[in-house]
A and B are shown apart, each in its own frame.
Chain A
Amino acid sequence: MSPFAAATRSVLVVQPDHEDPLDTFDSWFRDEGLTTKVVRPFADDPVPDVADAAGLVVLGGDMGANDDAAHPWLRDVRALLASAVEHDVPTLGICLGGQLLAVATGGEVSRGSHGTEVGAPQIHARPEVEDDVLLSAVSWPARFATMHRDEIVTLPAEAVWLAESSMYKHQAFRIGRHAWGLQFHPEVSLSRFVRWAEYIHDDPETTQRVQKGVAEFAATTRYVATATEPLARRFARVVRS
């Protein structure tokens, strides 16, 4: 724990899917002096109020951001995200979490027009990253692990667009001062990513993409970590300050 850390602060972590835990971010957050409270709405944990949390993380999941019929609690998570933005609680939405943040603040998510994006593609910063307190922690362009079918088609009107890939342009955005949505997965370990890949039984083209994507992440996993650790630590510092 950093000697400069103030009193331990608790981050509220919403985990929508059994297979998408906080993973590598857990130890980096702890190292930065944060504790976490994990809420699993798929296991009937109620979604709490954001007011007591020093920060909020909403993780990924296999469902769509608008699948309220199958997962009624998604509505509560979106309301939680809107409330966090309103109260300027430092917030990080990862993959599905980022899509939920987009929908909660006026954006639009639907099935991706270019199919599944999977692997560790190069992500390019937009000029606005120069002034972004979180993403300026990373040396750009960077590689991040990614695995998603849906895309953020339209960003919320007030969003600052921060990063893009060659396949899907809305890779990162910020709402207000301290709420970020990321399409990629900075938290995922290679072993967890390989497990996800094993769940995908799709058309032959997607299967081939998944195989190539796993090799891409496996080959670049050390390089990817040089971007993900600074990102996690910077977010923790935003929460702490």
Chain B
Amino acid sequence: MPDPTTNGTPSLAPVGRTRNALAAEVYDNLLDALMDGRLSPGDRLVMDRLADDLGVSRSPVRDALLRLHREGVVEPGGKRGYLVRAASDSDIHDFYAARMAVEGFAAELLQGAGADAWVFLRDLLESLSAKATASVRESFEANRLFHRGVVEVTGNSYLVDMFDTIWNRSRTALTYRDFAAAYPYDEFVPEHTELLDALERARPKTARNLMVQHITGGLDRTRPGSSE
């Protein structure tokens, strides 16, 4: 039977992991290494060596590196290789500004989301509380998942996709280290509970401002003074 999509030739697909699946796995591996500090800004990523280390052929490694390049995580450096990009102050600033646009708008829409949205967001916060204090990395994840929840209840999958794009691109070593150094994760639950309390009482425009202020607080801790 013919395949309903145009890409790929299913009749020729081998059993086991295909190039696309392998590339996705290499990409996840590299992002993990960036997040836990095994890779740092300025480190060189050589295609042949990565392929050897990961035990895969060069094609999926090249695909993964091209994707990271498109996403601004690495930049071409040297022969057949890339450099881990250092996030500049303007990268950090743009990350927070993009968050304010998407998540601020999501907060503005919350009023229309109904009573279940507030129950869900409070349950979500509670379920993430243990994660938030487990480690810096887990705390970053807890924060991301809570904020994604606010966007998810808008029901707008375009906004959720934009949220994912913004947050994926933020996962460079420098952003993560900034987060590690500056984020007071023992305040995760009280800070977000306070945010929810305020959002639930707020009119839409005020809700947007509350979310923008909350995000600005993160920027101030990451890059003191840069939000002015």
Q: How far is the CA of A128 from the CA of B13 in the complex (A)?
A: 12
In the complex with contacts A215-B120, A218-B114, A219-B120, A131-B155 CB distance below 8 A? no
Q: How far is the CA of A178 from the CA of B20 in the complex (A)?
A: 19
B80 contacts chain A at the CB level, 8 A cutoff: no
Contact between B5 and A133 (Cβ–Cβ < 8 Å)? yes
List of B residues within 8 angstroms of A212 by Cβ = 119, 123
A178's nearest neighbour on chain B, judged by CB, is: B1
List of B residues within 8 angstroms of A225 by Cβ = 155
In the complex with contacts A133-B10, A222-B155, A223-B155, A241-B21 CB distance below 8 A? no
In the complex, per-residue mask of B12-23: 1 if CB is within 8 Å of any chain A CB, else 0: 010001101111
Choose the segment among A36-44, A109-117, A232-240 that binds chain B (4+ C-beta atoms closer than 8 Å).
Answer: A232-240
Q: Is the interface of A mostly helix, strand, loop or mixed?
A: helix
List of A residues within 8 angstroms of B18 by Cβ = 128, 130-131
Interface residue from B4, B21, B114 paired with A131 (Cβ < 8 Å)? B21
B20's nearest neighbour on chain A, judged by CB, is: A130
In the complex, per-residue mask of B93-107: 1 if CB is within 8 Å of any chain A CB, else 0: 000000000000000
Within 75-103 of A, Cβ neighbours of B (below 8 Å) are at 88, 90
Query: What count of chain B residues pass the 8 Å CB interface test?
Result: 35
In the complex with contacts A131-B20, A219-B114, A226-B157 CB distance below 8 A? yes
Q: How far is the CA of A217 from the CA of B59 in the complex (A)?
A: 40
B152 contacts chain A at the CB level, 8 A cutoff: yes
A216 contacts chain B at the CB level, 8 A cutoff: yes
A177 contacts chain B at the CB level, 8 A cutoff: yes
Within 195-241 of A, Cβ neighbours of B (below 8 Å) are at 212, 215-216, 218-223, 225-227, 234, 237-238, 240-241
- Number of contacts between A and B (CB, 8 Å)? 87
Contact between A130 and B120 (Cβ–Cβ < 8 Å)? no
B178 contacts chain A at the CB level, 8 A cutoff: no
Q: How far is the CA of A108 from the CA of B157 in the complex (A)?
A: 35
Contact between B13 and A131 (Cβ–Cβ < 8 Å)? yes
B168 to chain A, nearest CB (A): 11
List of A residues within 8 angstroms of B24 by Cβ = 127, 130
List of A residues within 8 angstroms of B161 by Cβ = 139
Contact between B160 and A223 (Cβ–Cβ < 8 Å)? yes
B25's nearest neighbour on chain A, judged by CB, is: A127
Ranked 7 nearest A-B pairs via Cβ? A222-B155, A219-B120, A226-B157, A218-B116, A127-B24, A130-B20, A127-B21
**Residues on B facing A (Cβ under 8 Å):** 1-5, 8, 10, 13, 17-18, 20-25, 28, 113-114, 116-117, 119-121, 123-124, 145, 152-157, 160-161
Given contacts A128-B17, A223-B153, 7 further A-B contacts (CB under 8 A): A127-B17, A128-B18, A130-B23, A178-B1, A220-B152, A222-B156, A223-B155
A-B contact pairs, 16 of them (CB 8 A): A127-B28, A130-B18, A130-B23, A131-B21, A177-B10, A215-B116, A218-B114, A219-B113, A219-B116, A219-B119, A219-B120, A223-B160, A226-B155, A226-B157, A227-B157, A241-B2
